[in-house]
Structure 1
Amino acid sequence: MIFAGRYRHLILLLVVAFGFFWNLGNAPLFDEDEGFFAEGTREMALRGDFISTYINQEPRFDKPPLTNWLQYGATQLLGWNEWAMRLPSAVAALGWMLAIFLFVRKRLSEREAFYATLMAACSLQITIIGKAALADALLNAFLVGAMFSQYEILQGGHRKYTFLFYGFSALGFLSKGPIAVLVPGAVTVLYLLRWRSIRPLWRVLDGSGILLFLLITLPWYLLQYQQMGQAFIDGFFLSHNVNRFRTTFEGHYGGILYFVPILLVGLLPYTAVVLSAFGRLRYLWHDRYFSFHLLWFVFIFVFFSLSGTKLHHYIIYGYTPLFVLAAWYIAYNPGLPLIWPLLVFMIILLVAPFTLPNFIPMINDAYVVEVIQGAAAEFNQEYYIAMGVLLLVLLVLEVKKSWPKDLRLLLAGLVLLVTINILWMPRLANLLQEPVKQAALLAKQRGYTNLVVYDHYYPSFHFYSGLFAEERTPRTSDIVLARKHRLEGVQNKEILYEKYGVVLARIQGP
């Protein structure tokens, strides 16, 4: 191993800082989800009510408010900007990585802790979700802390792990709701069935721990129920939790194999390593520590594959155990199958911007056509040069298989981080969200009234403009934010702002 001692800690610190904090506020907030959380926080502050979440003056019961509370706290330091909205997630991602390192080091070794943390910090989906203005980084941080603590309880560890488990679970419950309790509970039951032992369960069901959980969670749930009554029960527990599993919610559907391709891409650049670790499945299944991680991942995969509502980030709840298994595999196997999946992915990213225009005649969505046409301005010569250099690095790594595996692991991760965080996400944000932000700032600057958002959900428009808008068909004298093609039938209109298929227009007549 080329990295030893304090250098491992320094490398991980630099990778985490680059992956989750570098240019944190460099891109506009993405709709719908980032805009949803940011606007919920803004309206909490505007109303002086930090119990209930409102979006465009309408009550919403999607998530508990811990993310909004932390975002508001960040605004007191940084102002109302992208940095403040994303900072809680980045800090949570830092805690997530720290939990992986500390717990894996305790049960395995510092070398394996280094591998697991490095892979988690550099993986495609985690580096995106770890700095998005959402509740998912918080939930994952608390879920990972709870799961690792739970394993220590099951093995008869110090009683401090009981309080850690219930504390982390409670904070997860305030971040995203029942899933923070369901996952540890289900995996514990499966683990006890696997090892045919019921006795450790009594260590888990600790009265003091349960009391701690209730002290943290009950106040908000009771206050929310007091404000909203049965609407809260129906909206939060039944609609956004039970119905998400039973039915397709908000159009987020997919087949039973929905998460297979997402896993293959989301684990990049370490997909091949994770798959190789499953070649030792029999050994992993007969080891208590590794079987716990297998059951953790399998439960997440099966549960959400059976869910009626499917979102790509659900599977991330099961990524941490995969990286623990992969870290063990790397430490005790000389070969490191690493580069080729990332190489394929990078080639696709390289050619996509200039090949997509060839498909325009087959695309019926006028907005998508405008975005593809606008990609030429964003994905410029600098992009192709940078991508070429990164591809060259990957080719060297593929040829130099004799290089130390931890160095190859690190360089592959850095290639992915540079590609996503510097080359792709800012450009994608400029294509999809910068027009919405600029339209909102224009509306704010000119103090427009009679605002209408037509035929698409843009909560970030409210956040950036500080204004509310009706969601309906536009009428005469309205100022309308819409996708350009939706207003093509309106003859009497004045275009106030237009870019990449998004327009802000004044309707002057029928």
Structure 2
Amino acid sequence: MMQKLENFLIKHPGKAFLFLIIFSIPAFFINLGLLALFADEPTRANVALEMILSKNYAVPTIGAEYYYNKPPFYNWILAGIYQLSGNYSEFTTRLPAIIPMFLFAFTIYFSVSFFLKDKRIAAISGILFLVNGRMLIYDSMLGHIDLFYSWLSFSSFMLIFYFLQKKNWFLLFFISYLITAITFLSKGLPSIVFQGFTLIAVLAYTKNFKKLFSWQHILSGLICVLIIAAYFWNYYQYNPNLEGYFSTIWNQSSRRTASEFGIGQSLTHFIIFPFEHAGHLFPASLLLLFCFHKNFLTGIKNNPFLTFISLVFLANIWVYWLSPQTRPRYLLMLYPLLFIIWSHAYFTYREKLPEINSFFNKLMLILAVMVSLCIPGALFFDLQNYVPYLLPKVIALSIAGALISYTIFRLKTGKIFAFISLLIVVRFAFSWFVIPHRFEHLEDRKYRDAAIEMGNISKNQPFYLYQYHPSELDIPHHDRLIFYIQCSRMQQVKFTEALSKPGYYFTFDKDLDNPKATLVKTYRNLKLYQVK
């Protein structure tokens, strides 16, 4: 039986990749919509919802006030999904991020398979994008812009290499600049940075630097600028404050750079940066062990594709390495470049590094056994009160963990495929046990329920958020509250500094100084008033 599995993994790594993808789909979708929106999710959701409510898709707003932080392309997609589905749930809000996550994994697989002609490397590097620590238990459950944005950016890298090999300079520039226009209209200036540094590094290394002055490059760049300019021209018809828009986009990109922080904080970040991100990418980062072979750098240099992705990584990573407040999700388009290089090193040098390979194999087995032994621990919390079929789920995952551990022990060359399936089991456990536990114990749910109730109470009446200019961060769940209120009312919330308008007023930790104001309900520090 094990020999048949071994032979299958050797002969059909592409089918193994497809099986792991299919196996992972329910793991990532179970309870995807359970938790209330958090982090940047409600900001994206608010902008999309207000586009629908205002019927104006050109001008992003929150609380009917101009929102300048991001251009709206991603919000157009989210608004489209809202309207097609007729649903504004957390699950729907997260779909534009989760679907590109799987498309990203397929893009990695097909790109590596095409350029390296090794489906083992393609399969492992593609699936590692889904099961690295950062993705496994955080980014994969959030409706952030970064997965969609990073997928497009990575696709641009691959297309640049494809047309570089073909020496088709027009399509190289035109398609990559077309993607740059879309990504700029999604996230702003980082797109220009990626495009610029990537082209400069690659063309300089390949001795084609003069192509930057060719008609193909100039024309493609102009088309990119015209697409972006067309959006802002249309935006100008509704709001002439382009200076405020541009300055905000600039500040969003520059505020986390080293110039904004002291030397001490910048130096600390510089030192811990690689270790921090190795931790985020664990256990995929364990493949770094195989990069210590003496021929590793030579192997990179002798392979055009590996040389290219190394150049792209080095050309862009330094920006984030020098930026003290870099967040891991900003690097999602660069992480796969590491997975490809690490996977190549694993399959190329594991037989030449027997001691490291033996240690790696034992470590995979130890981790698998530890996971299997930890799964029954779910029975010792209060999960039975809100996780249906808790015992059967624990038994099923424990058996799966034990079988995978045994498979890792018995297999000779395909252990890593079995280990990756164990990581998907970890995601099943996370989705079944951890997410419901958070739902029951975090305050997010209470704030969401309060916002929905306020929205239902005030339906068909004007609703205002009393704007007394506190710091936004001083209002817990600020954008989230606005989204749920608007979603339950299907009418816009508006900010106001006046207290005389008839309607409902929402305040945080403050009373309305208006004798005509009646306190309708208090939700902790949140208060709902009515002015007649």
Whole-angstrom distance in 2 between the partners of 1:218 and 1:439 = 42
Q: Pick from 85, 92, 116: which aligns with 2:93?
A: 85
Which of 273, 284, 287 lines up with 1:273 in the alignment?
Answer: 287
Counterpart selection for 1:259 from 255, 273, 280: 273
1:135 is the counterpart of 2:145: yes
Aligned ranges 1:146-295 → 2 under 5 Å = 146-158=156-168, 160-194=171-205, 198=209, 205-225=216-236, 227=239, 228-237=241-250, 239-245=251-257, 246-247=259-260, 255-277=269-291, 279=293, 281-287=296-302, 288-295=304-311
Assess if the C-alpha contact under 8 Å between 1:27 and 1:82 holds in 2: yes
Structure number, greater radius of gyration: 2
Alignment partner of 1:102 out of 98, 110, 121 = 110
Provide the rounded CA distance (Å) in 2 between the counterparts of 1:460 and 1:341. Answer: 42
What TM-score comes out, normalization by structure 1 length?
0.77
Change (3 A) 1:450 1:184: closer
Structure 2 Cα separation of the partners of residues 278 and 215 of structure 1: 47
1:66 positional shift: 0.9
- The residue identity in structure 1 corresponding to 2:306 is F
- Distance in 1 (CA, whole Å) between partners of 2:455 and 2:139 is 30
| CA distance in 2 between partners of 1:293 and 1:447 (Å) | 55
Between 1:152-161 and 1:262-271, the stretch displaced more is: 152-161
1:36 to 37, 43, 51: 43
Corresponding residue pairs, total = 471
Alignment CA distance shift 1:494-1:402 (3 Å): farther
**Structure 1 residue 400, shift from structure 2 partner:** 4.3
Aligned residue for 2:185, secondary structure, equals helix
User: What letter is aligned with 2:149?
Assistant: L
CA distance in 1, matches of 2:408, 2:14: 28
How far apart are 1:162 and its partner, in Å? Answer: 4.2
Larger mean CA deviation between 109-118 and 154-163 belongs to 154-163
* Stretch moving more, 52-61 or 415-424: 415-424
1:61 shift after superposition: 1.5
Note if 1:317 corresponds to 2:333. yes
Aligned-partner Cα distance in 2 for 1:212–1:125? 36
1:345 to partner: Cα distance: 9.8
Structure 1 residues 18 and 52 mapped into 2: Cα distance closer, same or farther (>3 Å)?
Answer: same
Aligned partners of 2:198 and 2:315 also within 8 Å: yes
Say which is worse superposed, 153-162 or 172-181, in terms of deviation: 153-162
The SS at the match of 2:334 is helix
1:72 lines up with 2:84 in the alignment: no
Contact 1:300 1:317 in 2 (8 A): no
2:476 aligned with 1:456:
yes
Report if aligned partners of 1:24, 1:87 keep a CA contact under 8 Å in 2.
Answer: no
The separation in 1 between residues aligned to 2:406 and 2:439, in whole angstroms, is 31
CA shift, 1:297, in A, is 2.8
SS at match of 1:206: helix
Deviation at 1:174, TM superposition (A): 1.6
Q: 1:366 aligns to what?
A: none
Distance in 1 (CA, whole Å) between partners of 2:214 and 2:141 is 35
Alpha-carbon RMSD: 4.3
Among 474, 477, 493, the alignment partner of 1:468 is 493
Aligned partners of 1:433 and 1:90: how far apart in 2? 22
Q: Shift of residue 194 of structure 1?
A: 4.4
Is it true that 1:428 corresponds to 2:428 in the alignment? Answer: no
**In structure 2, how many angstroms separate the alpha carbons of the residues matched to 1:340 and 1:65?**
46
| AA matched with 1:266 | H
* C-alpha contact 1:149 1:162 (8 A) present in aligned 2: no
Which residue number corresponds to residue 304 of structure 1? Answer: 320
Q: Is the 8 A contact 2:378 2:433 kept in 1?
A: no
| Alignment of structure 1 residues 303-382 onto 2, 5 Å | 303-332=319-348, 333-334=350-351, 335=357, 337=361, 339=364
Change (3 A) 1:93 1:471: farther
**Separation in structure 2 between the aligned mates of residue 350 and residue 258 of structure 1, nearest angstrom:** 32
What TM-score do the two structures reach when normalised by structure 2?
0.74
SS of residue matched to 1:27 = coil
Cα distance per residue 1:3-47 (max 9 Å; x no partner): 4177346325415634654544233211x3001110111122222
Query: Match for 2:478: what amino acid?
Result: Y
Shift in Å, 1:347: 10
- Contact kept, 8 Å, 1:274 with 1:325, in 2: the verdict is no
- SS at 1:155 equivalent: helix
Give the letter for the 2:196 counterpart: G
The answer as to whether partners of 2:464 and 2:494 remain within 8 angstroms in 1 is yes
Match of 2:120 among 89, 97, 111: 111
Distance in 1 separating the partners of 2:196 and 2:184: 13
- One-letter amino acid of the structure 2 residue matched with residue 53 of structure 1: P
Partner amino acid, structure 2, of 1:82? E
**Compared with structure 1, are the counterparts of its residues 348 and 242 closer, same or farther at alpha carbon in structure 2 (3 Å cutoff)?**
farther
SS at match of 2:57: coil
The alpha-carbon deviation at position 96 of structure 1 amounts to 1.9
Structure 1 unmatched runs, 5+: 356-372, 483-492
Per-residue CA distance 1:338-396 (angstroms, 9 max, x = gap):
637966996999899999xxxxxxxxxxxxxxxxx999987997698788667656754
Deviations 1:118-164 (A, max 9, x none): 11122232354355222101210110011111122333345644443
CA deviation map 1:207-251 (0-9, x unaligned): 4533542454332133335522211121122x11233434269xx
2:31 and 2:435 in contact (8 A); partners too: no
Q: Describe the SS at the equivalent of 1:221.
A: helix
Q: Distance in 1 between matches of 2:167 and 2:437?
A: 48
- Alignment of 1:404 with 2:414, yes or no, is yes
Which has the larger displacement, 1-10 or 459-468?
Answer: 1-10
Counterpart code for 2:308: F
In structure 2, the CA distance between the partners of 1:210 and 1:198, relative to structure 1 (3 Å rule), is closer
Tell me, in whole angstroms, the C-alpha distance in 2 between the residues paired with 1:42 and 1:277: 47
Letter in 1 for 2:185: L
Post-superposition Cα deviations, 1:422-463, rounded to whole Å, max 9, x if no partner, equal 433453355252222111112122228665696334211111
